């Protein structure tokens, strides 16, 4: 079965495509900088677990590489950040993309896991985001990253796989028409009125890096 290709704003019913789905593998990838002399594209993949008010209830509901809430998934050597309720296991930080969009053994640069049966009742959406890492205060890092934006990153995608069957269910490839945005809401998981889990392609860009997303989803912290 070939994966369903999502367009911006469209949704895919995961529960109907994979009845009984309990764990979703979320894989993201992008192409490396086409300029061999240019800076490395270091994109970070994170998630916000938000309530009815569109805000994270706890700071640990912002699942990102800098979190101190860390654990290991079975069979892995590296620790992952995880959400307050234990439903979201975030990405292990990778520092660059790949020339064909494939990086690790799964074909993705970074990946996450969503355990649907662990999502707390007060969590209404799990928003997956990517941000370009920049180093304004580190003299040992490449200062050219300060000029990077999503218009330069090509082939950025997000795909959802049923973790139990390893079947790819849907995929969303971001458009190449971003401007100076350096952060993007890629997509979100939520339950519909029938109680089915869906993934919606969002594709909304922001300027201001991860700070712009924290301002939107974690304004009280």
For residue 69, what is the domain's CATH number? 2.60.60.30
CA 105/CA 221 separation, integer angstroms: 37
Q: Which long-range contacts (CB under 8 A, 24 or more apart) does 6-11 make?
A: 6/170, 6/171, 6/172, 6/187, 6/199, 6/201, 7/172, 7/201, 8/172, 8/175, 8/201, 8/202, 8/203, 9/200, 9/201, 9/202, 9/203, 10/200, 10/201, 11/192, 11/198, 11/199, 11/200, 11/201
- Tokens linked to 81: 């950040």
Q: pTM for the whole thing?
A: 0.91
CA 22/CA 68 separation, integer angstroms: 26
For residue range 9-29, what is the model confidence (pLDDT) as tens digits? 999 999 999 999 999 999 999
Using 50, 70 and 90 to split pLDDT, how confident is the model at 167? very high
Which H or E run contains 115? strand 110-115
pLDDT at position 93 is: 76
For residue range 55-64, what is the model confidence (pLDDT) as tens digits? 999 999 999 9
Q: Is the pLDDT of residue 111 over 50?
A: yes
Give the three-class secondary structure for 215.
Answer: helix
- Tokens linked to 168: 């790819």
- Tokens linked to 80: 């992952």
Closest by Cα among 67, 62, 117 to 87: 117
For residue range 25-57, what is the model confidence (pLDDT) as tens digits? 999 999 888 877 777 778 899 999 999 999 999
Give the range of the structural domain holding residue 99, as residue numbers without chain letter: 4-217
167-173 and 4-6 strand pairing: parallel
Rounded to the nearest 10 degrees, how much is the dihedral formed by the CA atoms of 174, 85, 89, 134?
60
Q: Is the pLDDT of residue 103 over 50?
A: no
What average pLDDT score do residues 58-72 get?
A: 96
Domain count, the chain: 1
Q: In what order do the strands lie in the sheet with 43-50?
A: 11-13, 197-206, 183-191, 125-132, 43-50, 62-63
């Amino acid at each position: 079965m070939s994966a369903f290709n999502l367009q911006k704003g469209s949704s895919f019913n995961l529960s109907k495509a994979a009845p009984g789905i309990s764990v979703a593998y979320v894989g993201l990838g992008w192409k490396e900088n086409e300029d061999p002399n240019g800076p490395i594209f270091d994109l970070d993949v994170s998630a916000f677990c938000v309530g009815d008010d569109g805000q994270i209830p706890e700071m640990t509901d912002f699942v990102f590489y800098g979190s101190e809430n860390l654990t290991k998934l079975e069979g892995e050597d590296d620790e992952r950040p995880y959400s307050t309720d234990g439903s979201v296991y975030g990405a292990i930080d990778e520092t660059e993309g790949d020339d064909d969009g494939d990086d690790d053994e799964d074909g993705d640069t970074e990946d996450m896991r969503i355990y649907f049966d662990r999502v707390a009742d007060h969590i209404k959406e799990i928003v997956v985001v990517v941000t370009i890492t920049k180093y304004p205060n580190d003299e040992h890092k490449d200062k050219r990253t300060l000029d990077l934006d999503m218009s330069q990153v090509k082939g950025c995608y997000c795909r959802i796989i049923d973790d139990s069957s390893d079947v790819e269910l849907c995929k969303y490839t971001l458009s190449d028409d971003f401007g100076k945005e350096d952060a993007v809401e890629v997509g979100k998981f939520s339950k519909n009125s029938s109680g089915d889990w869906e993934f919606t392609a969002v594709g909304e860009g922001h300027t201001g890096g991860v700070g712009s997303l924290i301002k939107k989803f974690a304004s009280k912290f």
